[in-house]
Amino acid sequence: MGRPEKPLPYEVQAEIELRIRRNESLDTIVNALRGRVSRSKVDRFRTKFLNGTAAPAAASTSRSPAIVTTSPAPVVEASDPAEVPEEIPADAPMDVLRRWLVRVEKGAVKAEEAENWPALSSLAMRAASISEAIRKATPLPKPDPNENPDMRALADQVKKRLFALVDELHTPTGSP
């Protein structure tokens, strides 16, 4: 008798589901997870998910409950904002973040045209989180050496002036 299987963390489970829906191969999914989950565990989850027996990613208390599907979801269109995860990974590459932002913006335009306000609100929040991730991922600009003075050189100048003033105060003048 084997030991009971530990459930996958929500983030990993959601990422695997998303990649399965994109029809990515097992090797691609395992490589994308960068060693967080073993190949066999991903394969077991993928098999269960495709057979309709895997529980969908556990929903957070602040989100709507997860929907149980009995068949694999259809492949999503490339510009569909549903392809963008709700939780933006901190280590997502910049080009992926920009593609997600474009998808979300296109979805927001469609939602606004259809007057689907809940979807528009959700997409606006997702766009804000993607924009924040882009801001955090953007490297800081290199400092301009002309903007910041050389503090060591200034310290040497201040020392010379200070010693000159002190010498002036303690140097006797010509009076007795």
Q: 39-68 in b/e burial notation, b at 16+ Cβ within 10 A?
A: eebbeebbeebeeeebeebeeeeeeeebee
Neighbours of 135 (CB within 10 A): 9
Residue 165 is assigned to a structural domain of this protein: no
- Whether residues 62 and 94 share a domain: the answer is no
Phi, psi of 6 (to 5 degrees): -75, 140
The answer as to whether 34 is a domain residue is yes
Tell me the residue length of the chain: 176
Residue-wise pLDDT for 25-58, tens only, equals: 888 888 888 878 888 888 888 888 888 766 555 4
Looking at the fold, whether 125 and 105 belong to one and the same domain comes out as yes
Alpha-carbon span 75 to 97, nearest angstrom: 20
pLDDT of 75: 35
Residue ending a domain, among 17, 43, 73, is: 73
Looking at residue 139, what is its pLDDT? 83
Tell me the whole-structure pTM to 2 decimals: 0.39
Our count of domains for the chain comes to: 2
Residue 116 lies in a domain: yes
E strand or H helix at 60: none
Q: Examine the domain organization and report whether 132 and 92 are in the same domain.
A: yes
Q: What is the DSSP string of 132-152?
A: HHHHHHSPPPPPPTTTS--HH
**Do 80 and 53 share a structural domain?**
no
pLDDT tens-digit readout, 8-31? 777 788 888 888 888 888 888 888
Digit-coded pLDDT (tens) for 93-129: 888 888 989 999 999 999 899 988 888 888 899 999 9
| Same domain assignment for residues 45 and 101 | no
Domain range for 83 is 76-139
